[in-house]
Amino acid sequence: MMKTKPIVGIITNQASGFNGRQLLHAVGRRYVESVLHFSDVIPTLIPTCLGKSDLENYLAAIDGVVLTGGRANIEPHHFGGNKFPDDEHIDPDRDRTALGLIDACVKREMPIFGICRGIQEINVAYGGTLFYRVHQVTGKHDHRMPTDEDVPVEEIFKPRQVINFTEKSLFKNLIKQDSFLVNTLHGQGIDRLGQGLTVEAYAQDGLIEAISIAGYPTFGVGIQWHAEFHPEKDENYLNKVLFQKFGESCWAYRAKK
């Protein structure tokens, strides 16, 4: 008998279509395709309009969660930060749903993979804080993407920043290297690490670039870079490995369930 593939939920962001006349639940296609092809699971999209009881019912039907990147930053009232400027782009439904998802997933010991904004959500869910603008912090580099309209997407997302793995990092164990070149692109970043989390990698300026949930019995990882962008390329093989390991954990979770 053929085994049924695990089903994975990929969180969406609020976006607009039809020249701003209609709101959408949206997620980048690359996240969906990376999970489909490299994790060997069936991807589904998580709408951020779900209430708590509906979210619980949804989680009962899936086997893993991917927390994607997004344009909006997490609102500071979730971690005791300073109020955003009035023109800051926000997505309150994404904030609420993501933080609730993490709590519910951890209680179930369900696989979690946080990418870009996703690592920040995991940190906040565990009581950590965020820098509002990393490039304005003394000693930190500018981690933001190029803003020129004529810069090709391939140029924007190409690997350009070295991250260094911690001594006992699971990444170091996976690929037998001390460092890796990644395409980290973000404005916010981790300030104070949440209690119960472990640092897996740092940027060269000391900013946290990867974390894991300490003692978690399955895959519970957050990364600040965009692993969904060309994981099939040899230069990005760590990203392919991460999607594969996430998928293996989803298969194990489904088998146990």
Please give the full DSSP string across 13-70, using - where no structure is assigned. EEEEETTTTEEEEE--HHHHHHHHHHS-SEEEEE-TT--HHHHHHHHTT-SEEEE---
Confidence (pTM): 0.95
User: Dihedrals φ, ψ of 138, to 5°?
Assistant: -55, 125
Encoded tokens for 53: 């009881």
**Which range marks the domain in which residue 246 is found?**
7-256
Identify the weakest region by mean pLDDT among 144-153, 195-204, 210-219.
144-153
pLDDT at position 138: 85
Cβ neighbors of 173 (< 8 A, separation 6 or more) are none
Q: How many CB atoms lie within 10 A of CB 203?
A: 22
* DSSP label at residue 130: E
Q: Is residue 57 part of a domain?
A: yes
The single residue of 75, 200, 209, 228 carrying the catalytic annotation is: 228
228 is catalytic: yes
Residue 67, pLDDT above cutoff 70:
yes
Percent with pLDDT over 70 in the chain: 96
Q: Is 209 helix (H, G, I), strand (E, B) or coil?
A: strand
Q: What is the count of structural domains for the chain?
A: 1
78 is catalytic: no
Residue 163, pLDDT above cutoff 60:
yes
Residue 42, pLDDT above cutoff 60:
yes
The single residue of 143, 186, 226, 230 carrying the catalytic annotation is: 226
Q: Is residue 1 part of a domain?
A: no
Q: Is residue 2 part of a domain?
A: no
- Name the pLDDT band for 24 (thresholds 50, 70, 90): confident
Q: Quote the radius of gyration of the chain (alpha carbons, Å).
A: 17
Q: Is residue 31 part of a domain?
A: yes
The single residue of 105, 116, 143, 209 carrying the catalytic annotation is: 116
CATH number at residue 227: 3.40.50.880
pLDDT at position 2: 58
Secondary structure (H, E, C), 143-205: CCCCCCCCCCHHHHCCCCEEEEECCCCHHHHHHCCCEEEECECCCCEECCCCCCEEEEEEECC
Q: Is 232 helix (H, G, I), strand (E, B) or coil?
A: coil
